[in-house]
Amino acid sequence: GAVVSQHPSRVICKSGTSVKIECRSLDFQATTMFWYRQFPKKSLMLMATSNEGSKATYEQGVEKDKFLINHASLTLSTLTVTSAHPEDSSFYICSASHAGTSGSNEQFFGPGTRLTVL
Protein backbone atom coordinates (compact mmCIF):
# COMPACT_ATOMS: atom_id res chain seq x y z
CA GLY A 1 0.00 0.00 0.00
CA ALA A 2 0.85 3.72 0.04
CA VAL A 3 2.06 3.98 -3.54
CA VAL A 4 2.77 7.33 -5.13
CA SER A 5 3.24 7.71 -8.86
CA GLN A 6 4.63 10.53 -10.95
CA HIS A 7 4.14 11.28 -14.60
CA PRO A 8 6.09 11.72 -16.70
CA SER A 9 9.22 10.02 -15.45
CA ARG A 10 11.35 11.99 -17.84
CA VAL A 11 10.67 15.07 -19.94
CA ILE A 12 12.77 17.16 -22.28
CA CYS A 13 11.47 20.53 -23.37
CA LYS A 14 12.58 23.68 -25.09
CA SER A 15 13.41 26.82 -23.18
CA GLY A 16 10.36 29.02 -22.71
CA THR A 17 7.79 26.26 -22.68
CA SER A 18 5.79 25.06 -19.68
CA VAL A 19 5.88 21.57 -18.28
CA LYS A 20 3.33 19.87 -16.03
CA ILE A 21 4.26 17.05 -13.68
CA GLU A 22 1.58 14.95 -12.03
CA CYS A 23 1.80 13.28 -8.65
CA ARG A 24 -0.82 10.73 -7.69
CA SER A 25 -1.45 8.72 -4.57
CA LEU A 26 -2.73 5.42 -5.93
CA ASP A 27 -4.18 3.66 -2.93
CA PHE A 28 -4.75 6.28 -0.28
CA GLN A 29 -6.07 9.78 0.11
CA ALA A 30 -3.26 12.24 0.56
CA THR A 31 -4.14 15.08 2.88
CA THR A 32 -0.82 16.72 2.17
CA MET A 33 1.51 16.57 -0.79
CA PHE A 34 5.05 17.84 -1.00
CA TRP A 35 7.24 18.84 -3.91
CA TYR A 36 11.00 18.53 -3.72
CA ARG A 37 13.78 19.42 -6.07
CA GLN A 38 17.01 17.49 -6.13
CA PHE A 39 20.13 18.84 -7.76
CA PRO A 40 22.82 16.42 -8.98
CA LYS A 41 24.61 14.77 -6.07
CA LYS A 42 22.71 16.99 -3.65
CA SER A 43 20.00 16.53 -1.11
CA LEU A 44 16.30 17.13 -1.53
CA MET A 45 15.14 20.68 -1.24
CA LEU A 46 11.53 21.18 -0.21
CA MET A 47 9.85 23.53 -2.65
CA ALA A 48 6.30 23.63 -1.38
CA THR A 49 3.64 21.90 0.66
CA SER A 50 0.08 21.63 -0.52
CA ASN A 51 -3.15 20.56 1.10
CA GLU A 52 -6.14 19.52 -0.95
CA GLY A 53 -8.27 22.49 -1.88
CA SER A 54 -5.86 25.04 -0.43
CA LYS A 55 -3.13 27.20 -1.85
CA ALA A 56 0.33 25.74 -1.63
CA THR A 57 2.80 26.99 0.94
CA TYR A 58 6.09 27.76 -0.73
CA GLU A 59 9.49 27.64 0.89
CA GLN A 60 11.60 30.74 0.99
CA GLY A 61 13.31 31.43 -2.30
CA VAL A 62 10.92 29.37 -4.42
CA GLU A 63 9.10 31.45 -7.02
CA LYS A 64 5.36 30.92 -6.78
CA ASP A 65 4.71 32.18 -10.28
CA LYS A 66 7.42 29.97 -11.68
CA PHE A 67 6.39 26.76 -10.01
CA LEU A 68 2.61 26.49 -9.99
CA ILE A 69 1.19 23.86 -7.69
CA ASN A 70 -2.36 22.63 -7.80
CA HIS A 71 -3.79 20.09 -5.37
CA ALA A 72 -7.24 19.64 -6.82
CA SER A 73 -8.12 16.33 -5.18
CA LEU A 74 -6.99 14.04 -2.41
CA THR A 75 -5.16 11.87 -4.91
CA LEU A 76 -3.64 14.35 -7.35
CA SER A 77 -1.24 17.25 -7.20
CA THR A 78 0.41 18.91 -10.17
CA LEU A 79 3.54 20.98 -10.48
CA THR A 80 3.79 23.22 -13.53
CA VAL A 81 7.14 24.73 -14.37
CA THR A 82 6.27 27.83 -16.35
CA SER A 83 8.54 29.33 -18.98
CA ALA A 84 11.18 26.75 -18.23
CA HIS A 85 14.84 27.60 -18.61
CA PRO A 86 17.94 25.41 -18.54
CA GLU A 87 18.55 26.26 -14.89
CA ASP A 88 15.21 24.61 -14.07
CA SER A 89 16.61 21.28 -15.20
CA SER A 90 16.52 19.01 -12.20
CA PHE A 91 15.01 15.92 -10.62
CA TYR A 92 11.62 16.71 -9.14
CA ILE A 93 10.19 14.39 -6.50
CA CYS A 94 6.79 14.50 -4.90
CA SER A 95 5.62 12.85 -1.73
CA ALA A 96 2.27 12.38 -0.08
CA SER A 97 1.13 11.85 3.45
CA HIS A 98 -2.11 11.07 5.19
CA ALA A 99 -3.23 11.10 8.79
CA GLY A 100 -2.13 7.83 10.27
CA THR A 101 -3.44 6.08 13.33
CA SER A 102 0.04 5.97 14.83
CA GLY A 103 0.34 9.73 14.86
CA SER A 104 3.27 9.56 12.51
CA ASN A 105 2.26 11.01 9.17
CA GLU A 106 4.85 9.28 7.07
CA GLN A 107 5.65 10.71 3.66
CA PHE A 108 5.52 8.31 0.72
CA PHE A 109 7.70 9.32 -2.17
CA GLY A 110 7.09 9.15 -5.87
CA PRO A 111 9.75 7.86 -8.27
CA GLY A 112 10.69 11.34 -9.45
CA THR A 113 10.61 13.22 -12.75
CA ARG A 114 13.78 14.16 -14.60
CA LEU A 115 13.28 17.52 -16.32
CA THR A 116 15.76 18.65 -18.94
CA VAL A 117 15.32 22.07 -20.49
CA LEU A 118 17.25 22.66 -23.69
Partner 1 sequence: AQSVTQLGSHVSVSEGALVLLRCNYSSSVPPYLFWYVQYPNQGLQLLLKYTTGATLVKGINGFEAEFKKSETSFHLTKPSAHMSDAAEYFCAVSDWGGANNLFFGTGTRLTVIP
> Is 22 in contact with 7 (CB distance < 8 Å)?
yes
| Site for partner 1, rule CB under 8 A | 4, 6, 32, 34, 41-44, 46, 49, 91, 93, 95, 97, 99-100, 102-112, 114
Beta carbon nearer to partner 1, 3 or 83: 3
Residue 80 vs residues 2, 29, 51, 71, 105: alpha-carbon distances, Å? 24, 22, 16, 12, 26
Beta carbon nearer to partner 1, 9 or 15: 9
Order the strands of the 19-25 sheet from edge to edge: 4-7, 19-25, 76-81, 67-73
Residue 34 vs residues 6, 38, 71: alpha-carbon distances, Å? 12, 13, 10
As measured in angstroms, the least distance from the Cβ of 61 to partner 1 is: 15
For residue 60, the cross-strand partners are none
Beta carbon nearer to partner 1, 94 or 117: 94
As measured in angstroms, the least distance from the Cβ of 34 to partner 1 is: 8
As measured in angstroms, the least distance from the Cβ of 72 to partner 1 is: 20
Beta carbon nearer to partner 1, 14 or 43: 43
